[in-house]
């Protein structure tokens, strides 16, 4: 099993190193912005105006800000203090905290929504069940989860990015496998999307998303 401290540290160091260049390169949500906005807009509609949401692995806060613009009460969490500095600089009215989505300091059943937008792509396979169980724990019954991730089977290792020497693996996944793990964690599936890569925007592979729900409590 991959030690959690190892990949968490590697992820943090990578994004601390490239934060400014990353934020400049991805000046909007994603290269496939119109379609991605549609997914995020739909998720916001499911959660409902005023819903309390955590954007986990928020990076420079662009998704956090978009969800806030859709009427959600959202905060961002990230490992990288450099990314959080950008998020706070660009969105002074929003709350951003440092932390790991594997060790969520969030009360049980306290959120209406959880977003992990291209954040599970650095989490090794063996840690996904615990990660999804944590997402399930913090959601209120009836709450929604949104995952965005790269589609595929073969990981890609980066040893250089934006002119920096770095080390980080980007893991691609198949929606049907992620969906099966979410069901095992207690979620029901609401929607799955798959879009082709935006080659002009630098995407090497197709992009996927899943919306899942923690089942509502049933009356006895």
Quote the CA–CA distance of 209 and 152 in Å, as a whole number.
13
Residue 122 maps to a domain: yes
Residue 168 maps to a domain: no
Give the chain's length: 220
Q: What is the pLDDT of residues 153-189, one digit of tens each?
A: 999 998 988 888 888 999 999 999 999 999 999 999 9
Quote the CA–CA distance of 136 and 128 in Å, as a whole number.
12
pLDDT at 29 exceeding the cut of 70 = no
Q: What is the pLDDT of residues 74-100, one digit of tens each?
A: 999 999 999 999 999 999 999 999 999
Residue 54 maps to a domain: yes
Residue 219 maps to a domain: no
Query: Which of 17, 122, 100, 4 lies closest to 54 in space, CA to CA?
Result: 100
pLDDT at 218 exceeding the cut of 80 = no
Residue 202 maps to a domain: yes
The whole domain housing 86 covers 4-162+174-213
Find the CATH number of the domain harbouring 9: 3.40.50.150
Residue 192 maps to a domain: yes
Confidence grade of residue 31 (pLDDT, cut at 50, 70, 90): very low
More confident site: 213 or 28: 213
Q: Classify residue 195 by burial, with Cβ atoms within 10 Å: 0-12, 13-18, 19+.
A: middle
Our count of domains for the chain comes to: 1
Confidence grade of residue 30 (pLDDT, cut at 50, 70, 90): low
Residue 169 maps to a domain: no
Residues 6+ apart with CB under 8 A from 87: 58, 59, 60, 61, 64, 76, 78, 94, 96
């Amino acid at each position: 099993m991959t030690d959690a401290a190892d990949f968490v540290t590697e992820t943090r160091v990578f994004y601390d190193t490239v934060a400014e260049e990353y934020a400049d390169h991805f000046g909007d949500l994603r290269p496939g912005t119109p379609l991605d906005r549609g997914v995020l807009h739909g998720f916001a509609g499911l959660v409902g105006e005023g819903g309390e949401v955590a954007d986990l692995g928020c990076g420079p806060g662009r998704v956090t800000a978009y969800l806030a613009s859709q009427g959600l009460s959202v905060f961002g969490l990230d490992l990288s203090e450099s990314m959080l500095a950008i998020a706070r600089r660009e969105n002074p009215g929003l709350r951003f905290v440092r932390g790991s989505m594997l060790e969520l300091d969030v009360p049980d059943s306290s959120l209406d929504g959880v977003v992990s937008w291209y954040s599970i792509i650095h989490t090794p396979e063996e840690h996904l069940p615990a990660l999804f169980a944590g997402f399930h724990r913090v959601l209120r019954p009836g709450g929604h989860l949104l995952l965005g991730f790269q589609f595929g089977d073969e990981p890609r290792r980066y040893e250089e990015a934006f002119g920096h020497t770095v080390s980080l693996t980007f893991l691609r996944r198949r929606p049907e496998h992620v969906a099966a793990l979410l069901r095992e964690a207690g979620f029901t599936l609401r929607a799955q999307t798959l879009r082709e890569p935006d080659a002009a925007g630098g995407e090497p592979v197709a992009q996927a998303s899943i919306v899942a729900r923690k089942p509502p409590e049933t009356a006895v």
